[in-house]
Structure 1
Amino acid sequence: MNRLIDSGGELNRLLGSGGELNRLERDFLAASVAAHEHGRRTAVRAARRMRALTGSLAVLLCVAVVAGLVAWRQSGVNARQRDEAEARRIAALTDILRESEPRTAMRLAPAAWRIADLPETRAALRTAAAQSEQDVFSRPEQGGRALNAPSWLSDDGRVLTWVAHDRAAQWDVRTHRRIRSVHIPGLSENVIDVSGDGRLIAMTAPGGKDTIVRGLADGSTRRLRTGERADAGGRFGPGGHAFLASRLAHDSGSDRMVLEVWDVDRQRVRYRYEHGEDDGPLPMLAPDQRHLALCGGDDTQLRVLDFATGRLVTTHPPRETERLLCQAEEIVFTPDGRAVAGATPAGIVTWDFRTGRERPRLPLAGGANAVVFHGAYALAWTPSSFSLWRTDLPAPADDGAREPLLTYPAASRTVGDFRFDPAAGVLRYRESGRTDVVHTLSLHGLACPAWRAKARRTRRSTSAGAP
């Protein structure tokens, strides 16, 4: 039997014939076949279950991978939407801060663009690149609030001097840091003026007589014997080396205005002049301290005094030019010291008293309120804007009106001082009011040496091509 079982061929033959086996062998053979079939079916079922499990696991794996990819992409979309929302918020914030904190606004614009490149962020970046306002300095309160306290900007606009609570405090406009604070008894009530370089401060002496000039850095004191200060005024000349004192002298039956030009270093009078009324512009000293310009007579006659000779310079300007200059708020000298200019309803009028000719006018719609000169540049303030001019550029070929290099809208009509700083390429102006605010505007490279060199080459080529 073992032989039959061990031989697969014989077993098949016996299964087919069935007549050679006894009953016991047939039962054993049937049980063996049944066991074999049961094992085979079990193996088939196990293989089927394994295939089903493998397929299910593959499907689950695919579903998990797809779900992970969808979640990852959705996470990226959410992060991008979050970044875009944040970038839009920052871009909108730059518009809000552009006037109050322009420096912060200029830094936020590229940051918003780096977070997300959107139309809003690109617009904010372009606006920041073309933005003129670079900085705003609000004077900090010192020793309590002092509204409408007097303040002065230095000639270059870098130092703000503020007087309150008998203290003279000076601030660096560029860094927003305090330079010094000097206590001077009676200063708040008696302050007169601060020199253009910020070194000196003038005040009425105790008792209302004479003028005290105090050095803010070194504490030096000079006394100018200007007499009674009632109905008097005064201001420093360029550089603080001269002081112009004016007072009203009362005579029997008439009053007259007395003007004195004091040498601050020597504490003596250089020039004294008396005239009838005080309705014309304030007298002005030339930058070289040699000439003094004023309107005499009935305040319509332009006069220029030469200190070297002690005589009046013969000017004889046209009547209209003389009238416009004497009606200006202030007469200023040009940097070369050869001409006087004024901001008038007709624009900037300049009279060269050396050549006896009027220089080309700088027209401004609506007239000008004030003008300052620095080298070849003229900066004018109108009721609505600032205008920067180059006075040494060739005249237009068609003999048309000169055009300014730059015009910037003035956000405030209460401009106290405005200064031109060509070294930094900026314009600074003090917005006066209850508290002082100094704005810094960029000139966009118009005052840089490369631009000036190009202008000189253009002027030489134009002159060479002229017939």
Structure 2
Amino acid sequence: MPRGERPLDVGDSPLLKFAADLRSLRDRAGGCSYRQLGARAHYSATTLSDAAGGRRLPTLAVTLAYVRACEGDVAEWEDRWHQVAAEVLPTAEPSPDEGHPPYAGLAAYGTEDAEWFFGRDHLLDDLEQRITHRRFVAVFGASGAGKSSLLRAGLVPRLKGRVVVTTPSEQGEPDLAADLLIVDQFEEVFTLWQDVDQRAAYIDALLTAGCKVVLGVRADFYGHCAQHPALVEALTDGQLLLGPMGPEELRQVIMQPAVKASCTVETALVSRLVADATGQPGVLPLVSHALLETWRRRRGTTLTLAGYEAAGGIQHAIAQTAERTYTSLEKQQRALARQVFLRLTALGDGTEDTKRRLPRTELDHDVDVDVVLDRLAHARLLTLDRDSVEIAHEALIRSWPRLKSWLAEDRDGLRTMRRLTEAAATWDSLGRDPDALYRGTRLDSAVEWTQRNGVRTSAQERDFLAESLKARDRERQLAHRRTRRLRQLVALLAVLLMLTGTAVVLAIKAQNESAAGWRSSAAWYVANQAQALRGSDPTLADQLAIAAYELNPTRQLRDGVLSAHAAGEEDSVSRSSFLSGQGLIPDGLPRPNARVPVGVNDTYRPLGERTEPDSVVTSTAVNGLEQAFSTTLEGRVARVWDVTDAINPTVVHTFDFPVVRIALDPAGGRTLTTVSEHGQIALWDWSGQDRPAKRSVLSGHPRPVSGIGYSQDGQVLVTYDDAGMLRLWDVSDMARPRPIGATLKTGREVTAVALSPDNHTLAAGFAGGLVRMWDLATEWAPEEAWSHKAHPETIRALGFRQDGLALATVGKDDKVSLWDVSDRAAPVERGRINWSTDGVHGVAFGDTPTRVVTSKSNGTTRSWEFDFDTAVTAMCAAVEVHISREEWQQYVEAVGALQYSRPCA
């Protein structure tokens, strides 16, 4: 140890631990003197010695120079510095007398902040001109591009007349009597409203309004807007795309508010901010928050680079503020804060997670809740008004690691919470109508979720579940009483039979009816008991499900047994896991273009470790050679990964333009089809994967293409766009593709397609759960053979069996169905299995005609057995402990059902 340096007690503080680790880093680098280290780092030996002394935190620049000189991991130490800075540097809490801050932080600039809004004059001129010549205009931009600030603080002060600013989440109908109506955060129409009719009525009201209308829409909801033809027509030539700010605009954003507040900004800080932010989408709230925190750490009237670094910079300022505020809360308050943030976030389905406005009534009236909301609002992480709460900006969702990890932990549980919240609110709004209570599987799932660690429900939700459980108990008691009455009736009829022979026929009929009613009630009671035991004792639950079917062998109880068998199956992963679930030939049409439905956490994370950064998966494709490929998009560059081995994926080619869809011909995998960001479809010779050669381009879709897929022989390509237009192409000669038959205009959002093995039948699934089939025998006159709402929610995947006589459908409603389509005009459902289908994007048939296989975007597959006898045999083979006589009496004989008889004897 060099003279003059005292040993540090690393347990004293984060600062001393940081200094001790810097000293250890120097030791591992050879233990050179500070004079030698200073020659490498271009700092004096004294400065570097002080950095490792532990008396104060060195600047970020000195720390990184020290680390580079010791050949350490610069990125790791930069993150480490920010963590320590958040703990040891003085916080910059707002003071009561600080005056109006020149920067808005995470919050959007409102009309009252117009004097502080700079940098968008050119765009405002363009927007004002568009409004002058058009009645309907939309401003599209990424989250964080500054749409709300542009409309509220930029546009409104420029206009004359009565201007009304609203959002879809605000209560009531939009004010259509204004001269100009601005609808900000228009994407809430799609994220908050599940009722399609309510959504359509709102859009129609805007389209027919007697005033001019300006919409502010997040760019990733452009495709959602295209689902409404009248809205598409109204927005033709009326769209303004808000992109990232250029260097000069950023300088205005940085400098002008400071000048107005009589402050100066260091030139080094301006250069650093412009370099950090130029060309970055959605960066404006990060810049504004970093500037606000830097202003609070100003030196006199000067905003400094040192203050910017202490605040955490663009990348860390929001996370640093959020983490500091969260950790300052007491333990119970931190748990409340977690629930508040989870409730304030709407999970994306194919889009990023978004913020949602939370009615204040959804949170309990509690002192700790009020304290948490006040602290979070004081840090400008939340905005509060009289009746609602919301996250200040969606940048917090993207930038705070703790919140991202909360959202990733249990997305299914969060969806259960959201459905429970909505159901409880509906029940309360209907005067607590008993008919709106939960029953069956929904009730069981909600109760199971509330019993997990860390879950906190609101008073309204607790009341809703309590009433639902009471209603279930009442229904069971009524069923028991009904059964007893039926038995008494049977006994009475038996007595009457002894008194008169003329009552024989009536007695037999009544006995049969009562027995049937009793068996039905008893069977459903046993089935409900099986469902309740599914999580705690699956083997006993399986035996009870079989017993319920033996009591009353109906189709619904048969499906219950199949669902119980499916619940015991496990997702599997192997080198070919992507293949069997893709509808790969010979079992059905591949779905290589399925999007991974995970939202902001929609990142490609192979099951093994990898050193490449996580990237957004845009598509997955398979061929007939047992190979699977995925594409990722990083900026303007698209990579094609060989994911045949899901554990160890490798990059095989990089395109220098954005590729959002790929498909490979199943026959030999020689032809690759790509869809670019702007919807161009290209065919490539994929023989040399590292150097594919473009052979032709397909045109004919007026709207962006949202899906592609091949027939089993690789000769036919199916394409469909976001307006619901389906086209078929003969691609047997990749250099000369030609359209096949007439274009099918469905007018609906297509989510899945499948071609029969003989290419004579096309099946398509839609967002509303509809499935349609067309007879393609006559190319230029396809006839619709069948149209049916197969599922209550979006169709995730379709697949024909090899013989073309069966079709498997997968719905977003957590159900997989098997259809007999031997009569194309009148398909018959042969079974429906209920289990989670989250993430499924491909379906095929297994090694038997009744086994269906689904594939998930993470490379796993799951089997679904539709043959009843096979399922029961497998369930009984897994039984090690048969149902006991005591358990039989508790769950079966409790309703006077069968005498003790083991289902799997």
TM-score between both structures, scaled by the size of structure 2 = 0.28
Which has the larger helix fraction?
Answer: 2
TM-score between both structures, scaled by the size of structure 1 = 0.49
